[in-house]
Amino acid sequence: MQIKLDKIMEASECDKALTKIAQGKQDAIPVIHKYLERQIFAVAYSVLHDFSLCDDVVQETYIKIIEKAASYRPGTSAKAWVLTIARNIALDMLKHRKFETPDENLDMNMSDRFDENSILLSLQVKSALDALDDEDRQIVTLKAYTGLKHSEIAAMLGITTEAAKKKYQRAIARMKELLI
């Protein structure tokens, strides 16, 4: 129940913030930062699987939000709108970084407040995510972490809702095998 209320709150706050930004009030950006920073980061990772580039994607996304806020339609999904921008920025970055080796040093990118078991689990999840193909990794991240609906994911990836559902189920099953 609490989680559902949090989600409603998040959607409403982000919607209001985007409307304000569209009116030129850039001081509403911290609201987007508060609710969506980690989700933008996750989308960036699901596309690039390179931690060193994800911070840049988050920052570029904020700049793009300010530039494009006028095209946001209030009352629609603010989160899907923001994450679509983040994904497009990450895809652009991927094109330019195609031949460079990704930064795979997870230890350096783990928050200091977590213990060894947490880090071990994260390493396993990272390996499992990296074993998925690009589209499956994005679908799993968008559904499991950001909580977007299958229809929103389908629109973002240009596939049918049914295809998004099937791919998600298949990818989760594959991850289950890998995480045993």
Partner 1 sequence: MTVSDKIKHFYDTVKIDGVSLPQQVKMPLSIAISAAAVSVLIGAALIIPNIVKKQPKNTGKKPISGRTV
Distance CA 66, CA 108 (A): 31
Residue 145 in the binding site for partner 1 (CB under 8 A): yes
Binder among 83, 140, 153, 154 for partner 1 (CB under 8 A): 140
Q: Is 132 in the site for partner 1 (CB under 8 A)?
A: no
CB-CB contact of 65 with 32 (8 Å): yes
169 binds partner 1 (CB under 8 A): no
Spatial contact of 57 and 41, defined as CB atoms under 8 Å apart: yes
**Piece of the chain touching partner 1 by CB under 8 A; list 54-62, 68-76, 79-87, 158-166:** 54-62
| 67 Cα distance to chain centroid | 20
Q: Please tell me the distance from the alpha carbon of residue 81 to that of residue 156, in angstroms, as a whole number.
A: 9
Q: Which residue carries 């994607």 as its tokens?
A: 57
Given the rule CB under 8 A, which residues bind partner 1?
26-27, 29-30, 33, 37-38, 41-42, 45, 51, 54-55, 58-59, 62-63, 66-67, 109-112, 114, 118-119, 121-122, 124-126, 129, 140-141, 143-145, 172, 175-176, 179
